[in-house]
Structure 1
Amino acid sequence: MLSFPAFARDLSTIRKALLFALLLFVAGGVIGWIGTGSLQKLLSGQLEGLSKISGSLKESAHPQWSFFQFIFLNNSIKGVLIIFLGAIFGILPALFLLINGGVIGYLIHISAMQGMDLFDLIVKGLLPHGIIEIPAIIIACAFGLQFGWNVISDLFSSAAAREKRSGAWPAFMRQTLRASIWIVILLFVAAIIESTITFSIFS
């Protein structure tokens, strides 16, 4: 179950979903960059909420430990849930990718407008943990999108086609379980980096 080569093979079976997830994330980033009006209010509200949480965590007795706990639990719970919530026609993983990409795009755009050093923001602030965290989230959402597609395919297929596909469900559920474990592991590593290296740089 914990075999990484098996996990890599699982990813090769959902290549289209992975590509679509990546495109949605990038599209979210572009939308966040150019977003105006109500969209801008939504994205700024997301950032304000994160800022308030960050402020309260910094005031705790052990800020780095508090940051690690929050980041890991928040990301890993969402990462696993988004896989299985994808069963609702893949809607929630798609929205999750658009919103998260949008927040990053909006953050970079606002920072650029305020004259901040984008090299520091991206290379020092986002890249150390993001190089692991962002792919893990995209992978989780890709499995969620694939889950939704499988459900849609079964709903709108003939009885014979559903019967033929029924044997594929146990294998896919094993893949989602293995993916859940590896996503939690990857997000654990990302949380360590974010609560140590990134925290130290921006402190």
Structure 2
Amino acid sequence: MLLLTTFLKDLGFIRKTLLFVTVLFILGIIAGWYSTGALAELINKQMDGIREVSETLSKSSTPKWSFFVFIFFNNSIKAVTMIFLGLLIGVLPILFLLVNGMAVGFLVHNSMEQGNSLFDLVVKGLLPHGIIEIPAIIIACAFGLQMGLLVLSSLGGSGKAELKRTWREMFRKALTASAWIVIMLFVAAIIESTVTYTLMKG
């Protein structure tokens, strides 16, 4: 059930949903880039919260370890939660993805406006861990949305036995995805707390 080949086959099963949520994430980045007024203020408050946590972790006796623990558990819990919150007709995974995309767009644009190097921010600050972390979050939200779509289709009514089999398979896919997403985020957290941390501090 937890084989990588099984996970990859499951990704193929939801490829249309994956494409859809990827587009949503990109739209979120664009919205964050051009955000103004109340939207910009909302994103800025979120970023301020992240900065405060970052400063606190930096002051610990073992900052790299503190960053790893926080990043790994924070991202893993949120990602797996988004998969199963998809049961609420998929709304929360979509919102979560859009907000994260907006945060990325806002961060990059705001940093450029302050005269910071785009190369340093993207190549040093986002790319090393983001190349794993972002796909993991997108995959989690795609499975969450798939859950929501199944809820909606179940409301239409179908054979009880068939519906039961479909839901059993969906939960199997969700559990397999959860395991591999946590593994992906574990690797991303290691990279972010070591490579990204060192590059940005340097």
User: What TM-score, normalized by structure 2, do the two folds share?
Assistant: 0.97
* CA distance in structure 2 between the partners assigned to 1:76 and 1:105 by the alignment: 22
Specify whether residues 107 and 113 from structure 1 end up closer, same or farther in structure 2 by C-alpha distance, changes over 3 A only.
Answer: same
Q: What is the distance in 1 between the residues matched to 2:159 and 2:148?
A: 17
Check whether the contact 1:129–1:198 (CA below 8 A) recurs between aligned residues: yes
Letter in 1 for 2:26: V
Q: How does 1:135-154 map to 2 (within 5 A)?
A: 135-154=135-154
Closer, same or farther: CA 14–162 of 1 in aligned 2, 3 Å: farther
Distance 1:11 1:175 in 2: 9
Distance in 1 (alpha carbons) for counterparts of 2:160 and 2:58: 53
Q: CA deviation at 1:183?
A: 0.3
2:159 & 2:133 partners in 1: Cα distance?
37
Q: 2:165 maps to what in 1?
A: 167
Given residue 183 of structure 1, which amino acid in structure 2 is its aligned partner? Answer: I
One-letter code of the match for 1:176? A
For 1:37 and 1:162, locate their aligned partners in 2 and report how far apart those are by CA, in whole Å: 50
What is aligned with 2:184? Answer: 186
Q: Which amino acid aligns with 2:16?
A: K
Amino acid at match of 1:128: P
Structure 2 unaligned residues grouped into runs of 5+: none
| Corresponding position: 1:29 with 2:21 | no
Match of 2:75 in 1: 75
Give the C-alpha shift of residue 20 in structure 1: 1.2
**What stretches of structure 1 move > 6 A for 4+ residues in a row?**
none
The amino acid across from 1:182 in the alignment is: W
Tell me which residue corresponds to 1:126: 126
Q: Residue 95 of structure 1 corresponds to which residue in structure 2?
A: 95
Aligned identity (percent) is: 55
Structure 2 counterpart of 1:45, one-letter code: K
Rounded to whole Å, the distance in 2 between the matches of 1:118 and 1:143 is 32
* Structure 1 residues 60 and 154: CA distance shift in structure 2, 3 A: same
Alpha-carbon distance in structure 1 between the residues aligned to 2:166 and 2:111: 47
State the alpha-carbon separation in 2 of the partners of residues 12 and 57 from structure 1: 39
Unaligned 5+ residue runs, structure 1?
Answer: none
Q: Which amino acid in 2 is paired with 1:201?
A: L
Give the residue type in structure 2 aligned to 1:150: L
Aligned residues: 201
Q: Which residue of 2 aligns with 1:114?
A: 114
Summarize deviations over 1:26-76 as a string: whole Å, max 9, x none: 111000001111100111011000000000000111100000000000000
The structural deviation recorded for 1:161 is 5.3
RMSD of aligned Cα (Å): 1.0
Opposite residue 57 of structure 2, the aligned amino acid is L
CA distance 1:20–1:31, change in 2 (3 Å): same
